[in-house]
């Protein structure tokens, strides 16, 4: 039902009355987005939107408001820049002035599940942003602006900052006022800013309620046992958590409370580059139906169908759809305490073993590392591995010091006797061009063995670099695959030369983390 709610703008303190469309459903938002020429439908039924020059997040444009209590608690990290209260209020006034003179779209939504649910009202300039928010969070008509614990998000791409006057780094801004529980986004159409700004604020609010916020996927087996998958982009978090015989709780953002695991979100924001009905059938099907928002996906000019291979717009093409579009999910979006936790790293140096069980001390070490590695072209025709460290596998979204989250994880792991494993989904026998990436079928076999308890009593041998406990045998996996040094074969001395600087990278990262 279409609702015009002129009284709503008064709640925001706007200088004049305006018009807002509240809690429109998917069909109505399609109608508005198409009529406003914001987006178009494709032959599969999805709604396609292009975001222009911003096809990903703008981390240098995110700021917290420098209010005394909250600012003192912030992690002193380059990504957690501060903006003065005066500068924030100036931008806020311009955002509200824009709101007063334009049609807006509001969704009353929620993050989390009872009793850990927080109301989130998302007010947008664009109808397709409203659909995106509705897909990613959970509709909750009972949510009221200004309720205890509620969050408000204003997304106005047409409003630009003035870096000289406002103290921002560009015309784009993502501003988080923790005390007012208010988020302002402008100068960008990239919808992922909405999702991650809300997650960042939850990462501040949830620990105070006894909930550990986590950037991870979660699934549940037929036996009811829950597994968590932590990993940065490209490590296989989404792929490995979508496993046959297991139901998905969520693919990206979760909380761990005294009751167990629960999903913050009600949907998925999946990368679509390279997906097909054969390789990732569930994501492919969900991306090709009415109600899904496709963001920066190329279109076949002959058929009008989404072309998930074409990357000329961006490698970060996405599909946003509700969890209900997937065939095997947990309706409650929650589960018990995890029995298995997996840290995924795609090591392009070929040093980390394919699998290892972590001791208590190693859990903290690798969680605070949040490691993966990619290939970067430093010279024409020369590809070099490049290490990435992201504490808690979530550095861009951590407002509080990483050791706080690590301590919360460690305490829960010990209390609930969870097993924690490190998986290398990257290379063995050397880096790219020398060794080979571990085949997905073998990684899946390792994951299955972990989740089925087949590695619990298997003897281990110490990894020569980190002294990790590496299983001597895994069903359906060749023994030499489990031993990185052996996989390098006659080049083992080269492995030894690579090992020392590789360990040094980790130790240097932790030293920098300790220095703040």
Query: Any idea which residues carry the catalytic annotation?
Result: 57, 196, 215, 233, 237-238, 252, 318
State the residue for tokens 């989740």.
451
Answer yes or no: are the C-beta atoms of 261 and 228 closer than 8 Å.
Answer: yes
Please give the Cα distance from 301 to 159 (Å, whole number). Answer: 33
Residue 130 neighbours by CB under 8 Å, 6+ apart: 21, 24, 29, 105, 106, 107, 122, 124
CA distances to 121, 142, 152, 252, 419 from 147, in Å: 10, 10, 10, 26, 39
In terms of Cα–Cα distance, which of 443, 21, 429 is closest to 241? 443
Please give the Cα distance from 37 to 212 (Å, whole number). Answer: 41
Within 10 angstroms of residue 434's Cβ, the number of other Cβ atoms is: 12
- Six-digit token string for 377: 């072209």
SS3 label, residue 305: coil
Q: Kindly tell me the sign of the dihedral angle through the C-alpha atoms of 66, 71, 76, 77.
A: negative
State the Cα torsion 27-30-36-37 to the nearest 10°. Answer: -150
Angle of helix 192-205 relative to helix 127-136, nearest 10 degrees? Answer: 40
> CA-based angle 81:84:90, to the nearest 5?
120
DSSP output for 361-394: HHHHHHHHH-EEEEEEEEETTEEEEEEEE-GGG-
* Backbone φ and ψ of 139, nearest 5°: -55, 135
In terms of Cα–Cα distance, which of 231, 210, 466, 494 is closest to 357? 466
Please give the Cα distance from 108 to 123 (Å, whole number). Answer: 9
- Six-digit token string for 59: 């981390």
Please give the Cα distance from 350 to 346 (Å, whole number). Answer: 9
Categorise residue 21: left if φ over 0, alpha if ψ from -120 to 50, beta otherwise. beta
Answer yes or no: are the C-beta atoms of 124 and 102 closer than 8 Å.
Answer: no
In terms of Cα–Cα distance, which of 218, 264, 203 is closest to 405? 203
H or E segment and range at residue 122: strand 118-124
- Six-digit token string for 430: 């050397």
Please give the Cα distance from 98 to 162 (Å, whole number). Answer: 15
SS3 label, residue 477: strand
H or E segment and range at residue 91: helix 85-100
């Amino acid at each position: 039902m279409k609702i015009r709610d002129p009284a709503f703008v008064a709640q925001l303190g706007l200088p004049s009355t305006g018009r807002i469309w509240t809690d429109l459903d998917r069909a109505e938002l399609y109608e508005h987005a198409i009529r406003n020429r914001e987006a178009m439908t494709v032959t599969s039924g999805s709604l396609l939107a292009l975001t222009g020059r911003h096809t990903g997040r703008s981390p240098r444009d995110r700021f917290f408001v420098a209010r005394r209590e909250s600012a003192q608690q912030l992690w002193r990290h380059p990504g957690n820049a501060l903006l003065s209260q005066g500068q924030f209020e100036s931008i806020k006034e311009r955002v509200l002035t824009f709101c007063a003179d334009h049609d807006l779209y509001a969704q009353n939504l929620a993050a989390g599940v009872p009793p850990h649910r927080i109301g989130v009202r998302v007010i947008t300039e664009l109808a397709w942003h409203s659909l995106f928010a509705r897909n990613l969070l959970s509709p909750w008509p009972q949510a009221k602006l200004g309720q205890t614990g509620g969050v408000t998000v204003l997304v106005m791409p047409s409003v630009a900052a003035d870096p000289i006057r406002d103290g921002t780094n560009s015309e784009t801004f993502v501003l988080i006022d923790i005390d007012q529980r208010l988020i302002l986004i402008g100068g960008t159409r990239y919808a992922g800013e909405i999702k991650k700004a809300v997650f960042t604020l939850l990462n501040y609010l949830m620990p105070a309620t006894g909930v550990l916020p986590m950037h991870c996927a979660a699934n549940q087996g037929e036996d009811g046992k829950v597994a968590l998958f932590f990993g940065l982009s490209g490590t296989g978090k989404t792929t490995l958590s979508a496993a046959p015989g297991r139901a998905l709780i969520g693919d990206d953002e979760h909380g761990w409370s005294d009751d167990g695991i629960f999903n913050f979100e009600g949907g998925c924001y999946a990368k679509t580059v390279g997906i097909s009905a054969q390789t990732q059938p569930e994501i492919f099907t969900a991306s090709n139906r009415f109600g899904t928002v496709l963001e920066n996906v190329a279109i076949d000019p002959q058929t009008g169908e989404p072309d998930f291979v074409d990357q000329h717009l961006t490698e970060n093409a996405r599909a946003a759809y509700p969890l209900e579009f997937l065939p095997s999910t947990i309706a409650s979006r929650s589960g018990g305490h995890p029995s298995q936790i997996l840290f995924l790293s795609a090591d392009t140096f070929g040093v980390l073993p394919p699998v290892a069980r972590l001791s208590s001390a190693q859990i903290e070490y690798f969680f605070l590392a949040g490691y993966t590695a990619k290939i970067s072209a430093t010279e024409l025709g020369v590809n070099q591995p490049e290490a990435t460290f992201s504490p808690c596998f979530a550095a861009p979204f951590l407002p509080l010091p990483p050791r706080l989250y690590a301590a919360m994880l460690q305490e829960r792991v010990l209390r609930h006797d969870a097993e924690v494993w490190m998986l290398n989904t990257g290379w063995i026998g050397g880096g790219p061009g020398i060794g080979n990436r571990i085949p997905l079928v073998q990684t899946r076999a390792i994951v299955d063995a972990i989740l089925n308890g087949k590695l619990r009593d298997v003897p281990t041998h110490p990894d020569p670099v980190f002294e990790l406990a590496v299983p001597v045998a895994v069903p359906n996996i060749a023994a030499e695959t489990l031993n990185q040094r052996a996989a390098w074969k006659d080049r083992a001395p080269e492995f030894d030369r690579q090992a020392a600087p590789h360990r040094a990278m980790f130790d240097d990262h932790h030293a920098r983390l300790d220095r703040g």
